[in-house]
Amino acid sequence: MALKRMFCLLTGIGMLLSSGVAWSAEVHGRSSTQYQWFTDYLTGEKQGEFGEYLSLSVTKVDKAGKLSFTGYGRATQDILNGQGLNGRLYYLYGNYSNLYDKADIRLGRQFVSYAAGSALVDGGKIDLKNVGPVAFSIMGGRNVIFNLDGEATTSKDYVWGLAANLVGFKKTDAELSYFMKLDEAGVARDQIGASFKQYLLNSLKVYGNAKLDLTSEVFSEVLAGVKYYPSSDLVFTGEWYQSYPIFDNSSIYSVFAVNQYREGVFRADYTVNEKVSVNAGYSKQFYGEGADADVYGLGTRLRPIEKLQVNLNYDFHIGYGGKLNGGAFEVTYEPIKPLELACGVHYDTYERDRVTGRETARKYWLGSRYKLNKSMTASLRIEDNVNQQYESDWAGRAVFNYDF
């Protein structure tokens, strides 16, 4: 029914916005046929699932090239546990751009993201532009919610929002936005948000995001960061992030006490030459009520020969949550141009508390990708997880992609 409603909606959009459908319309997209096998962590049973993922783009529908349609969805079938056919429509919308050189109009199922909030919406979005140094956007419609079996949206789930963006400044981006979500109980979320990005002196970028929940009068998210790149080979990054969990006003979890999370991050990335690059980072994490942790990380990318790449990463965590000491080793090799082979080992040791003692978690994986021609590729990945829960847990995915 959802597919039928979307098709009828987009057909109406095309009739209203286009002066006539041109025979030169171009259709592009990707068909991805997949088979996945894994353990269902809810039931503990093995699951084998066939899936078809389809993305589609139709452009040049009208003579002016202003009207286009875009869609993406999937259909899956479990063949081991008899769970039946399951489908999801992620987006399907029509877009009409440059109406009177002032507006872009998008109608249908679409993902909308503002600094104040984001949602998958069955509705519309209008962007007003070329009206000065500030561009405006407004969106609204049915709030699409997915659960394990499909859609869980009710007749009273809606969202709407608006945003103002600074435009025309080469080194400056800024947004101020508002977001509201409604459900059966009324207003579920009421938020304002802001984001900005500023380039300075050709070697410095300052950026930040903030989201304020108007109901609880607290900042649910704050991010402030600086990137300094004295050369194209060297980048220093410093960030401060804090979050305070916010639940819908109608949720029972909204009455529970929660702690604010804060994190300070410093990272350096350096490209030594075409064959070697390294990175190092440190973060200080604060979980509230005196609980904190220190996290250190090191990594390198090596390309000893043109067709071989080796990635090494190491992390060490100490403090709240216990001790974690682990790393990853990954190799990618291209023996011939259409074929790519890869493998990796992830190894972690951790100690949550003195009672459980030291435990380990390991992952071993193999992968390959083969390009049959310009439009078809096939890939395969197999992995085995060994940890305290599973002595051996095999999972994998086989994929055939066709681009058209």
Q: In the 8-state DSSP scheme, what is residue 129?
A: -
Please classify residue 16 by burial: count the beta carbons closer than 10 Å to its beta carbon, then call 0-12 exposed, 13-18 middle and 19+ buried. exposed
CA distance 75 to 122: 19
Task: State yes or no: pLDDT of 174 exceeds 70.
Answer: yes
* 243 vs 254: CA distance, rounded Å: 15
What φ, ψ does residue 36 adopt, rounded to 5°? -125, 140
The CA distances from residue 127 to 8, 106, 161, 176, 354, in Å, are 23, 9, 12, 14, 57
161 pLDDT higher than 80: yes
Query: What sign does the dihedral 104-7-31-45 (CA atoms) show?
Result: positive
Residue 393 has pLDDT above 60, yes or no: yes
Handedness of CA 250, 254, 260, 266 (dihedral sign): negative
Could you tell me if 148 and 49 are in contact, meaning their C-beta atoms sit under 8 angstroms apart?
A: no
Residue 139's CB is within 10 A of a number of other CB atoms, namely 23
pLDDT higher than 50, residue 196: yes
> In the chain, pLDDT over 70 holds for what percent of residues?
93
Task: Report the pLDDT averaged over residues 371-383.
Answer: 97
Instruction: Read off the pLDDT band of 86 (50, 70, 90).
Output: confident
Specify the DSSP element, H or E, that contains 10. Answer: helix 2-17
- Where does the pLDDT of residue 252 fall: very low under 50, low under 70, confident under 90, or very high at 90 and above? confident
In the predicted model, is pLDDT for residue 78 greater than 50? yes
Half-sphere exposure of 78 (CA within 13 A, CB side): 14
Question: Phi/psi of residue 2, each to 5°?
Answer: -65, -40
Chain segment 122-150, per-residue pLDDT in tens: 999 999 999 999 999 999 999 999 987 78
End-to-end CA distance of the chain: 27
Residue 175 pLDDT exceeds 90 = yes
Confidence at residue 19, expressed as pLDDT on a 0 to 100 scale: 43
CATH of domain 259-404: 2.40.160.10
Check residues 23 and 163 and name the one with the higher pLDDT.
163
Task: List, as one string, the DSSP characters of 109-127.
Answer: EEEEEETTEEEEEEEEEEE
d(CA 291, CA 304): 43
The sign of the torsion formed by the CA atoms of 380, 55, 112, 227 equals: positive
For residue 10, the model assigns a pLDDT of 44
Residue the block writes with tokens 């459900």: 183
Q: Answer yes or no: is pLDDT of 223 > 70.
A: yes
What are 17-48's pLDDT values in tens digits?
A: 444 444 578 999 999 999 999 998 777 888 89
The beta-carbon contacts of 40-45 under 8 Å, at least 24 apart in sequence, are 40/81, 43/81, 45/80, 45/81
Q: What's the pLDDT band for 91 if we cut at 50, 70, 90?
A: very high
Question: Which pLDDT band holds residue 355 (cuts at 50, 70, 90)?
Answer: low
Residues 6+ positions from 127 with CB-CB distance below 8 Å: 103, 104, 105, 106, 135, 136, 137
Residue 329 clears pLDDT 70, i.e. is over it: yes
